[in-house]
Amino acid sequence: MPRLPFRSATPALLTAGLIVGMVATTGAAVPAFAQQTDTSASSTVGAISAPLSTITADAQTTLADAKDALAAARQVTVDIRTSGLDIASSTTVVDTSALSQVIDELDGIDLTPTLLLPALTADAAAEVQSVREGTAALRGQLDAAIAKKAEEEAAAKAAAEAAAAQAAAEAAAAQAAAEAEAAAAAEAAAAQSTATASAPAVNVNVDPASAQGIARDMMAANYGWGDDQFACLVALWNRESGWNVSAYNASSGAYGIPQALPGSKMASAGADWQTNPATQIAWGLGYISGRYGTACGAWDHSQSTGWY
């Protein structure tokens, strides 16, 4: 059986209870002597002079509010502990001891004297307000901690994505550089292979004196050049190739008696440009005539620059 809340029943309240009983049973006006009681009794009489149904309804409404406030206070504590977050408050529990007591008292509403209900209801409403304020404060701190954690996680994610993007960009740049280097190396190898291929497959040793005889005859017949030009030509191609039909300069790729660069240029004078001294000489004389006018002109240029 619930305990009766008589702890606050003062003589004034008991007097007020008698008055209420009289009013409720007889419908008479409040006696004059009751109007001369102290202020506390007067306020209580005023409160309990309302219809009994209203007093009871207010108490029941306050009881429901108190239970809701108690549940919310307990839930915020559970939510804080479940989150594992640190909040600004030094405690994660709302003090609900007083609220629990008034709930126990209001739960015995059917056995509670009517004169005590208004005061008990007021006490309960005050405790509800206090507990709700404490609950709201803890809930606000929990929400702030959750928002802070979300911001920190978002910042960490953004930093990780930025680092990953930077790493990907660096990797792509490194790959592009490696591919460019490989392409350059392949191009250089291809160029070297082409230059090597310009040399004849066999080393044909043609007598330089015979090659010079071919040149003398060709100069006189095709260009009208005499011995003076022949002497310049001999000096020029002695320096370039020693009149060797298979002479090959590995550093530049020049080839043949006239040291054509590349040697394949001499194909314009004949398909046998790699081995036939006459084909090489024909091309070389045409080159000298077109660029320098005479063999001595080419020789003079070679003397001053080291090439012709």
Q: What is the mean pLDDT of residues 262-276?
A: 94
Query: What is the token pair recorded at 31?
Result: 């006696």
The phi and psi torsions of 38 (rounded to 5 degrees) equal: -70, 170
Asked if 280 contacts 257 with a C-beta cutoff of 8 angstroms, the reply is yes
| Range from 89-98, 204-213, 280-289 carrying the lowest mean pLDDT | 204-213
Q: What is the mean pLDDT of residues 84-93?
A: 87
Band of pLDDT at residue 114, cut at 50, 70 and 90: confident
Band of pLDDT at residue 181, cut at 50, 70 and 90: confident
Question: CA distances (Å), 75 to each of 66, 71, 85, 136, in order?
Answer: 14, 6, 15, 11
pTM above 0.85, yes or no: no
Burial class (CB in 10 A: 0-12, 13-18, 19+), 300: middle
Characterize 157-180 residue by residue with b for buried, 16 or more Cβ atoms within 10 angstroms of its Cβ, and e for exposed. Answer: eeeeeeeeeeeeeeeeeeeeeeee
pLDDT of 146 > 60? The answer is yes
